[in-house]
């Protein structure tokens, strides 16, 4: 009995308010019926039909009311619970904007409330559904390969349950799903702005676990999750854009700071803190003048005054800021004002651009320009002197050669003549170099193949440095034709090679590299690199100055690079170099290419020596020269006659001997070249005449004679030069 009451008590405690009310109401009905029946019995009144009907009606109404009250009361109670659950989910999802938090807590809570055993949350990521969270299972609901299929994505846009078997056709579930013994499931889309952004999927081992009302509730849950999802997305976007702006501000190439009307920096960007070597916190809160050296303080105060009092904004104000370690940097500052609602300027935005590098660059350009001007003016000076000096030397040489002929070798003064001649010849070679540097030496410009010249120069140079110096050639496969003078370019290259050799006394690698500008195809560069001793800054600044040399007396004249400079300039080229002590030096020459020259002409053309079969008369008083010339020319096919002096030549010519060409030495004793030439003219001979001399053609300068002759060649001859000249003169029509 006691047990019964206990159970009754626990039953009554378990009842809800509505149930308890129903029991009270039912008890009242029963008590009323019992009262009616007992009153009839006590009053010994016959139990009439009407009584029976009224008691039955009261009973039926009472019980019907109990039944319906109980039924709707329970439903109301359930709805209240559902609302509470919805509220719980809403609270969970709105508690955070962190998507991960929302996913895991929302799914957990929904499964919990609905008492389902399994749950999945998928979210659309681009064109694919991604599994974000599971509950009760550690694998997906669908097969992985389904997740990006278009038909599947469309399928997920509606509420789906296991009942619509025909609609699951074509949907592939995860292999492991059968292990879970799922008997019912429901998939509800998560909609954001009418677009399905994912699904909430719940499953149970119980059959028909998701009646329509539950599905509706799940839909309501999914709406809550969708709202949270949307919020999180929006928040993500804002955060992202904020981050981007912050990044733009912090890492802008320019320095930013914001200054208030009291001149205090209230914000600055990371670039500023990095350039000035301060932490941001060390800048913010300080007076603006803190960022400037003392001598700039007045200027800064003036800028602040003008900004806030006169509302002036500044563009490109040139200032110097000071870094933490006391260095000053050049900056160009732009400012703009920020106004409050009463149109009063309250803040000054300052954007500072670090101009230090640019200034250094400008200075370098300026220095290079000044250096070029300096070298050019030295060139002018040197050229003028060299020209006069050349004339003087020519006279000295002329006079000394006369002396040599007049004084017998036995005379004790003869040796001095030789000394004079040697010294004058050396002087001549120096003045020639100076003239090249000053761009005053005669040049013969015509299209030349740069690669051929390099190869040829290397052929002369390489054997002399082997095996100490390794020569590496990296020549461009393009044909590089420039308008130039082979001799001069060769001379320039040779000077550079020799400098490189001298810079590598213990051997090393000399690299010659050529490149045709791939973009414009308008220039070719030659880079000559050595890994030798390199140059100090002092040396670097002076290399092109004539007679500057670090080599010991007698080893270098200091004219090598001056000549290179002159040659490059007269070829409209440029020269640049980099050098580091103990690392090496690299010179880069750039020449303009000639456009539109048929390249195949030069492709394989080695400058061949071309001969001929014409008759040539060689007139020279020096036996040795006669012999050499005669051998050279007859070797290449000419039929050669020699004359040992002017007289002999005139005799031969007067004998009506015909020569296609006369190679005439200028300076001969008794009858000189000029006289022989006059004879040729007076005899009206058709012979062409090439004058040869130990002096350069400057000795002919200006004279009428120089215009009448057909060519000039300077001693000593090189085989190629001679052959070329002879052929040229013979092939030219006489005007
Ligand atoms: N490749 C190089 N490596 C190191 N120093 C160099 C190099 N080229 C030139 N120099 C320096 O530049 C100076 C001037 O060079 P330049 O060719 O004008 O004269 P030089 O070589 O001294 O004499 P010269 O060429 O007339 O015989 C050299 O004395 C040397 O100090
Ligand atoms: Mg040199």
- pLDDT tens digits, one per residue of 513-549: 999 987 787 899 999 999 999 999 999 989 998 889 9
* Dist CA 601 CA 329 (whole Å): 57
pLDDT at residue 607, as a whole number: 46
Q: Enter the DSSP assignment of 715.
A: S
**% of the chain with per-residue pLDDT over 90:** 38
Q: pLDDT tier at 15 (50, 70, 90 boundaries)?
A: low
- Residue 160: inside a domain: yes
* Residue 666 placed within a domain: yes
Per-residue pLDDT, 348: 96
CATH of the domain at 513: 3.30.565.10
CA-CA distance, 714 to 666, in Å (whole number)? 11
Residue 19 pLDDT: 65
Q: What is the 3-state secondary structure (H, E, C) of 41-106?
A: HHCCCCCCHHHHHHHHHHHHHHHHHHHHHHHHHHHHHHHHHHHHHHHHHHHHHHCCCCHHHHHHHH
Same domain assignment for residues 682 and 581: no
Instruction: With both helix axes pointing from N to C terminus, report the angle between 414-437 and 356-406 in degrees, rounded to the nearest 10.
Output: 150
Within a domain: 154: yes
- Paired strand residues for 327: none
Count of C-beta atoms within a 10 Å radius of residue 672: 16
Helical pair 212-250 and 99-114, crossing angle rounded to 10 deg: 170
Ligand number nearest CA of 548 is 1
User: CA 732 to CA 688: how far, in whole Å?
Assistant: 10
pTM here is 0.46
Distance CA 288, CA 257 (A): 9
Judged against a pLDDT cut of 60, whether residue 56 lies above it is answered with: yes
Of all residues in the chain, what percent are helix, strand and coil, respectively (each to 5)?
A: 50, 20, 30
> How many A from CA of 709 to the centre of ligand 1?
40
Q: How many angstroms does the Cα of residue 499 sit away from the middle of ligand 1?
A: 5
**Residue 229 falls within a domain, yes or no?**
yes
Lowest mean pLDDT among 157-171, 451-465, 599-613, 620-634: 599-613
> Helix (H, G, I), strand (E, B), or coil: what is residue 592?
strand
Long-range contacts, stretch 187-190, CB < 8 angstroms, 24+ apart: 187/141, 187/156, 187/159, 187/160, 187/161, 188/159, 188/215, 188/218, 188/219, 188/221, 188/222, 189/156, 189/157, 189/158, 189/159, 189/222, 190/123, 190/222, 190/225, 190/226, 190/229
Return the higher-pLDDT residue of 60 and 356: 356
Clarify whether residues 331 and 227 are in a common domain.
no
| 272 CA to centre of own chain | 24
Cβ neighbours of residue 676 closer than 8 Å, sequence gap 6 or more: 619, 646, 649, 650, 653, 662, 664
Whether residue 554 is found in the same domain as residue 454? yes
Band of residue 8 on the pLDDT scale cut at 50, 70, 90:
low
Please state the rounded mean pLDDT for residues 187-214: 89
Number of domains, the chain: 5
Bigger pLDDT: 282 vs 477? 282
Q: Is 193 left (phi over 0), alpha (psi -120 to 50) or beta?
A: left
Question: Is the preceding peptide bond at 637 cis, omega within 30 degrees of 0?
Answer: no
Tell whether 179 and 218 lie within a shared domain. yes
Q: Give residue 203's pLDDT.
A: 94
3 state DSSP class of 258 = strand
Q: Please, are residues 287 and 264 in contact by the beta-carbon 8 Å criterion?
A: yes
Distance 552 CA to ligand 2 centre (A): 12
pLDDT at 530: 97
pLDDT for the residue numbered 130? 92
Whole-number Å distance between alpha carbons of 67 and 25: 11
- The per-residue pLDDT for range 246-289, each reduced to its tens digit, is 999 999 999 999 999 999 999 999 999 999 999 999 999 999 99
The ligand 1 atom at the shortest distance from the C-alpha of residue 546 is 18
Q: What are the angstrom distances between the C-alpha of 8 and each of 2, 11, 14, 70, 484?
A: 10, 5, 10, 19, 122
Same domain? 657 vs 553: no
Q: Which residues contact 36 (CB under 8 A, 6 or more apart)?
A: 51, 54, 55, 58
More confident residue, 550 or 224: 550
Q: Is the pLDDT assigned to residue 662 strictly greater than 70?
A: yes
Mean pLDDT, the chain, integer: 85
3-state secondary structure of 333: strand
Helix ranges (DSSP H) in 607-658: 623-635, 646-654
List beta partners, residue 579: 585
Of 203, 233, 263, the one marking the end of a domain is 233
- Terminal CA-to-CA distance of the chain, rounded, Å? 154
Token output for 255: 């320095």
Closest-CA residue, ligand 1 atom 13, reads: 549
Q: Which ligand is nearest to the CA of 546?
A: 1
Helix (H) or strand (E) holding 402: helix 356-406
Enclosing domain of residue 43: 14-89
| Domain shared by 592 and 719, yes or no | no
Q: How confident is the model at residue 714 (pLDDT cuts 50, 70, 90)?
A: confident
Task: Mark whether 503 and 583 lie in a shared domain.
Answer: yes
Residue nearest to atom 25 of ligand 1 (CA): 560
pLDDT level of residue 79 (50, 70, 90 thresholds): confident
**679, pLDDT greater than 70:** yes
Residues 336 and 459 in one domain: no
Q: Whose CA is nearest to atom 7 of ligand 1?
A: 499
Residue 182 belongs to some domain of the structure: yes
In a shared domain, residues 627 and 594 = no
Rounded CA-CA distance 308/259 in Å is: 10
Q: What is the pLDDT of residues 598-628, one digit of tens each?
A: 555 444 344 445 677 899 999 988 877 787 7
Asked whether the predicted pLDDT for residue 647 surpasses 70, the reply is yes
Q: What pLDDT, on a 0 to 100 scale, did the predictor assign at position 561?
A: 95
> Could you tell me if residue 398 is inside a domain?
no
Q: What angle do CA 413, 419, 422 make, to 5 degrees?
A: 145
Span 134-153, average pLDDT: 90
Contact 450, 491 (CB under 8 A): no
Q: How far apart are CA 567 and CA 565, in angstroms?
A: 5
Find the ligand nearest to 547 CA. Answer: 1
Probe residue for ligand 1, chosen from 375, 556, 576 as the CB with the greatest number of ligand atoms within 8 Å: 556
Q: Parallel, antiparallel, or unpaired for β 584-592 and 523-530?
A: antiparallel
Which of 89, 116, 140 is the C-terminal boundary of a domain?
Answer: 89
Has residue 221 got a pLDDT over 90? no
Residue 76 belongs to a domain: yes
Is residue 249 within 8 Å of residue 256, measured between CB atoms? yes
Whether the per-residue pLDDT at 636 is higher than 60: the answer is yes
Q: What DSSP character marks residue 587?
A: E
Average pLDDT of span 109-119 = 88
Helix (H), strand (E) at residue 663: strand 661-665
85-99 confidence digits (pLDDT tens): 778 777 776 666 677
450 and 557 both lie in a single domain: yes
Q: How far is CA 170 from CA 151, 162, 467, in A?
A: 9, 14, 80
> Which one of 553, 558, 562, 580 would you pick to mutate in the ligand 1 pocket, going by the greatest count of ligand atoms within 8 A of its CB?
558
Q: What is the spatial distance between Cα 679 and Cα 677, in angstroms, rounded to a whole number?
A: 5
From the CA of 500, the nearest ligand is: 1
Q: Which of 300, 327, 354 is the last residue of a domain?
A: 354
Q: Do 540 and 599 sit in the same domain of this protein?
A: yes
The predicted pLDDT at position 660 comes to 93
High-pLDDT (> 70) share of the chain, %: 91
Same domain, 39 and 106: no
Whichever domain contains 336, its CATH number is 3.30.450.20
**Main-chain dihedrals φ then ψ at residue 689, nearest 5 degrees:** -130, 125
Strand ranges for 694-729 from DSSP E: 711-714
Q: Is residue 72 part of a domain?
A: yes
pLDDT at 483: 92
């Amino acid at each position: 009995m006691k047990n019964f009451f206990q159970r009754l008590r626990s039953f009554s405690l378990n009842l809800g308010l509505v149930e308890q009310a129903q029991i009270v109401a039912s008890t009242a009905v029963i008590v009323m019926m019992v009262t009616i029946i007992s009153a009839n019995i006590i009053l010994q009144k016959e139990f009439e039909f009407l009584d029976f009907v009224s008691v039955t009606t009261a009973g039926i109404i009472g019980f019907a009311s109990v039944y319906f009250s109980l039924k709707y009361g329970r439903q109301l109670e359930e709805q209240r619970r559902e609302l509470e659950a919805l509220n719980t989910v809403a609270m969970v999802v709105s508690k955070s904007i962190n998507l991960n938090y929302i996913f895991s807590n929302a799914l957990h809570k929904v499964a919990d409330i609905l008492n389902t055993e399994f749950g999945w949350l998928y979210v659309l990521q681009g064109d694919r559904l991604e599994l974000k969270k599971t509950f009760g299972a550690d694998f997906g609901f669908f097969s992985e390969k389904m997740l990006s299929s278009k038909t599947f994505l469309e399928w997920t846009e509606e509420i789906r349950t296991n009942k619509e078997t025909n609609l699951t056709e074509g949907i592939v579930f995860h292999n492991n799903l059968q292990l879970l013994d799922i008997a019912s499931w429901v998939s509800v889309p998560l909609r954001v702005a009418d677009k399905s952004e994912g699904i909430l999927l719940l499953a149970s081992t119980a059959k028909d676990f998701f009646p329509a009302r539950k599905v509706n509730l799940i839909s309501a849950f999914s709406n809550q999750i969708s709202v949270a999802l949307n919020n999180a997305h929006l928040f993500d976007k804002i955060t992202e854009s904020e981050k981007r702006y912050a990044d733009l501000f912090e890492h802008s190439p320019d320095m930013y700071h914001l200054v208030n009307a009291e001149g205090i920096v209230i914000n600055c960007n990371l670039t500023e803190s990095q350039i000035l070597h301060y932490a941001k916190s060390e800048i913010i809160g300080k007076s603006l003048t803190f960022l400037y050296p003392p001598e700039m303080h007045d200027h800064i105060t003036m800028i602040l005054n003008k900004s806030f009092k006169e509302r002036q904004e500044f563009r490109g104000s040139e200032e110097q800021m000071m870094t933490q370690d006391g260095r000053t940097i050049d900056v160009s500052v732009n400012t703009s004002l920020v106004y409050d609602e009463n149109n009063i300027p309250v803040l000054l935005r300052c954007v500072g651009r670090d101009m230090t590098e640019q200034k250094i660059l400008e200075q370098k350009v300026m220095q290079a320009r000044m250096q070029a001007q300096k070298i050019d003016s030295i060139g002018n000076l040197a050229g003028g002197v060299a020209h006069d000096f050349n004339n003087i030397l020519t006279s000295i040489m002329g006079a000394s050669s006369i002396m040599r002929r007049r004084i017998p070798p036995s005379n004790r003064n003869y040796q001095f003549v030789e000394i004079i001649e040697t010294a004058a010849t050396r002087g001549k070679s120096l003045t020639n170099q100076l003239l090249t540097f000053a761009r005053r030496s005669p040049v013969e410009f015509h299209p030349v193949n740069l690669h051929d010249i390099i190869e040829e120069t290397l052929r002369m140079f390489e054997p002399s440095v082997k095996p100490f110096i390794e020569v590496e050639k990296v020549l461009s496969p393009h044909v590089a034709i420039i308008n130039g003078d082979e001799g001069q370019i060769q001379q320039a290259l040779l000077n550079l090679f020799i400098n490189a050799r001298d810079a590598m006394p213990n051997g090393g690698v000399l690299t010659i590299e050529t490149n045709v500008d791939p973009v414009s195809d308008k220039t070719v560069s030659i880079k000559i690199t050595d890994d030798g001793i390199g140059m100090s800054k002092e040396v670097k600044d002076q290399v092109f100055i004539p007679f500057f040399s670090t080599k010991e007396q007698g080893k270098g004249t200091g004219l090598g690079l001056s000549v290179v400079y002159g040659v490059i300039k007269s070829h409209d080229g440029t020269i640049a170099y980099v050098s580091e002590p103990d690392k090496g030096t690299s010179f880069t020459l750039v020449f303009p290419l000639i456009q539109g020259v048929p390249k195949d002409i030069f492709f394989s053309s080695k400058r061949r020596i071309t001969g001929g079969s014409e008759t040539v008369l060689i007139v020279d008083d020096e036996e040795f020269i006669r012999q050499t010339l005669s051998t050279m020319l007859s070797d290449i096919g000419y039929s050669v006659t020699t004359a040992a002096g002017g007289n002999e030549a005139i005799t031969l010519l007067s004998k009506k001997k015909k020569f296609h060409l006369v190679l005439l030495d200028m300076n001969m004793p008794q009858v000189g070249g000029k006289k022989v030439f006059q004879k040729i003219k007076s005899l009206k001979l058709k012979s062409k005449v090439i004058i040869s001399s130990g002096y350069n053609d400057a000795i002919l300068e200006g004279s009428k004679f120089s215009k009448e002759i057909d060519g000039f060649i300077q001693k000593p001859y090189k085989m190629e030069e001679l052959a070329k000249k002879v052929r040229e003169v013979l092939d030219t029509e006489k005007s």
